[in-house]
Structure 1
C-alpha cells in the first residue's frame, strides 16, 4: 500500500543537474543520481493506474514505486525487469508518456517516474544484480535477429533466455543502433549500453557487426526477427526542402 499522504507531503523533484562548468568539459550525462524515495512515495497507487496504460511496455509502475518507498530495492529491480529488459535505456530516453498519464497530474505535478526507473536500474547494477540469466536447456533452434536497436536487443535477450541460439546481425561497427549512433552521449552514454551487451554475451547471444546478411545467410536459421528500424528517410515535398542546411534527422544524428 502506498503512502496515502505522500503526494501531499512531498513536491515533485527531478534528478539534479551536474554543475555547468563540469558539463562543459565532456559529453557525459547532464543529470546525476539523487534520492528518489520521497518521489516514489508521491505515487498514490491509484485504483485505475493510468500510468500503467500510458506506458508502451505496460510497466506496473505503482508496484515498484511503492517498493522503492519501502527501501525494497531488489524487489523493485525484479518487478521492473518483469516488463522491461532495459530500464536504464528507457528511463533516460523515453519521453515518459506514463508521467503524462499520471492521475496526480490532473491538479498537481506528476510523479517523476522516469527518475525512479533510472534509480532502480543504477542501484541494481551497482549491487551486481544484473547477472546473466542463462537458459536451463537448449531448444536446438537457431534464430537470426537483424538489427541491434532496442527492439532487436530485447528480442534477442528474450529468445536467448528461452533456450534458442541467437545471432544478432548489425550493419554498423558495434551493436546498439540509434542508442549508440543517434542518441547523444549526454542523454545515454555508451557505457550503459556496453555493460548490458556484456550481460547478453554472457547469456549466450552472439553479435556479428559490420555485416548485412543476405537471404541465403538467413535461410540457415530456423527463424528470423527483422528489427532494422526505419533507416531510410521519407522525403517531404514542402517549400524550402531544397535549400542548403536542410538535413534529414536520421542522417544528421548518425553523422553527428
Structure 2
C-alpha cells in the first residue's frame, strides 16, 4: 500500500500546532491543517507490509494493539497517496461512524502497532484519518442519509456518549426508530462534556455530527435521567429493545484526611462545569483562576485538567502521578506491537512547561492528607514519594518512603484517578446482573444482559476504556440488537 519505497524516501511529518503560549488564550482547537501534498506523502509511507497489524484491534497485556474498530488503514492510506479522497472517506466510514472524533481524541493504538514502527517512526495514521474526515465535511460529502424505509421497531438508547451514538447511527441506518435519552442538557455524553473544547470543538465538530444524526431520524431527549425523570419500566413497556450506554461515570475517590475540605473536586465535575461555561458563555462554577492547583492522577483526564486550569489563569500547577516516569523508548517488557508505554508530553504538559518552566508531573508521589485553613478551605496537599514492591500475594503495591514528605500549596485540588464503573441506581432499578467490578454483566460480542431485550455496550459493560472501544461496542450491540429484532442482520 502507498508507494512501495515511500517508507524509505519520506520522513514522518505532523501538522504544525499553535505555540502553547498562544493557544492557552482561548478554548479553540489548536491543530493546524497540513497541505494536501504533504498528506499524500505521509500516506505513501504506508508499507506493503504483508501482514498489517494496524487494524487488528486486539488486546495485548491489557492494552489495545491496533485499531479496535478495525479501520481499513492500509487501504485508505493508499487511496490518499493516489489522491482519491472520496474513496478514502467511503472506506473510512465502512468501519467508523465518526472519524472526525477519533481523528482528534483517539490515542492511536494503530500507530503503536504499525509495522514501520519497528525500526522507524510509524505512519501518521491518526492525522490522515482526521484529514480524510475534514475533507469530507469541507467538500459536502458528509450529509444526511436517512434510511429508505422504516421497520416500525422502536429502540431506546440510554446515554448519548460514544457507544450510544454509534449504536444509534447503526440502528437508524437499518430503519429502526431510535430515541436516545440523555440526562445532561445537551447530547454527546463524554464527547460533549468529558473532553475539553480545545481537543474537540463542541459547536463546530460535535454538534455538526449530532445535527446529521437528527436529520437522519435519530431523536435525542435531553434532561431526562432514566429511573429518575422517567421510570425504567416505561422503556421496557414502550420500546421493542433497550441499549444501555451509560458509561462508567463513578469516579475513584481519595478518602484521606481532609477530604471534606472545600476546594477538592472530582475532575469530571471541573471539566463538565467548564465546558458548560464555554458553551453558555458564563463563568465556570469551579475555577482555577488565581489558584495553586494540584491534580492527582496522570492520565488523559488529568492532562485535560492541566490544560483547562492554565486557560483559567492558575498561579501554579502540580500533577501527582503515583507511577514511575516511562522510559524514552520501549522497555524490553513492552515490545511491538503492544501499545508503547513511553514518556511523552501531551498538550497540557507542553502548555504547563511553556508557562511555568517544566513538566508539571511529579512521578512516584502520592497525597497523604489535605490541609485546610480556618474557613474549611483546602490550602495544601501533603505528599510523599513511593516505591513499588510486591506484597505477599505477589502484587505490586506502592510503599511510602520515609523522609520524602513534601507540602504543596493548593487552593484547588482535582481528583483524576479514573473511574470505578457505572453509577448503580439505574442498574438497581432495572434489577440487572453485574460482574465483580460492578459493570453490567454482558458477554462481549453478544451484549445481552440478564433482562430480555435489554443490551449493554461501552464503558458500562467493559469498564473505563477508550472512546474507540466504545465505538466498537456500540456498533456490535447494534448488530446484536438488530438480529434480535429482525431475525437477521446486515450490520457489520
Same fold (TM over 0.5): yes
Aligned match of 1:150: 162
Aligned-residue CA RMSD (Å): 1.8
Alpha-carbon separation, structure 2, partners of 1:19 and 1:236: 35
1:177-192 maps to which residues of 2 (within 5 A)? Answer: 177-190=189-202, 191-192=204-205
Deviation at 1:255, TM superposition (A): 2.9
Alpha-carbon separation, structure 1, partners of 2:104 and 2:76: 17
Query: Is the CA contact 2:2–2:43 (under 8 Å) kept in the aligned structure 1?
Result: no
For the residue of structure 2 that corresponds to 1:16, the secondary structure is coil
Aligned match of 1:45: 48
Query: Cα deviation per residue 1:32-54 (whole Å; 9 max; x = unaligned)?
Result: 11031111111103211111111
Q: 1:70 to 1:233 in 2, by over 3 A?
A: same
Alpha-carbon separation, structure 1, partners of 2:272 and 2:248: 13
For the residue of structure 2 that corresponds to 1:144, the secondary structure is strand
1:204-223 maps to which residues of 2 (within 5 A)? Answer: 204-213=217-226, 214-219=231-236, 220-223=238-241
Aligned match of 2:243: 225
Greater RCO (Cα-Cα under 8 Å, separation 6 or more): 1
Deviation at 1:20, TM superposition (A): 5.1
Deviation at 1:205, TM superposition (A): 0.4
Deviation at 1:254, TM superposition (A): 2.0
Does 1:93 find its partner at 2:140?
no
Q: 1:144 to 1:6 in 2, by over 3 A?
A: same
The answer for unaligned runs of 5 or more in structure 2 is 57-65, 275-492
Alpha-carbon separation, structure 2, partners of 1:140 and 1:162: 11
For the residue of structure 2 that corresponds to 1:139, the secondary structure is coil
Alpha-carbon separation, structure 2, partners of 1:81 and 1:67: 14
Alpha-carbon separation, structure 2, partners of 1:78 and 1:226: 29
The answer for unaligned runs of 5 or more in structure 1 is none
Does 1:242 find its partner at 2:259?
yes
Alpha-carbon separation, structure 2, partners of 1:144 and 1:241: 43
Query: Cα deviation per residue 1:181-223 (whole Å; 9 max; x = unaligned)?
Result: 1111111001201110111011000011011132132121000
Point out the more displaced range, 131-140 or 53-62: 131-140
Aligned match of 1:15: 15
Deviation at 1:246, TM superposition (A): 5.2
Determine which structure has the larger helix proportion and give its number.
1
Deviation at 1:125, TM superposition (A): 0.4
Aligned match of 2:73: 61
Counterpart of 2:83 (choices 71, 85, 90) is: 71
Query: Cα deviation per residue 1:98-131 (whole Å; 9 max; x = unaligned)?
Result: 0010111111101111100000000000111112
Alpha-carbon separation, structure 2, partners of 1:104 and 1:241: 50
How many residues end up aligned between the 2 structures? Answer: 255
Query: Is the CA contact 2:188–2:206 (under 8 Å) kept in the aligned structure 1?
Result: yes
Aligned match of 2:332: none
Point out the more displaced range, 123-132 or 13-22: 13-22
Alpha-carbon separation, structure 2, partners of 1:24 and 1:223: 45
Query: Cα deviation per residue 1:1-49 (whole Å; 9 max; x = unaligned)?
Result: 4211111111111121125565244211111110311111111032111
State which structure, 1 or 2, has the greater radius of gyration over its C-alpha atoms. 2
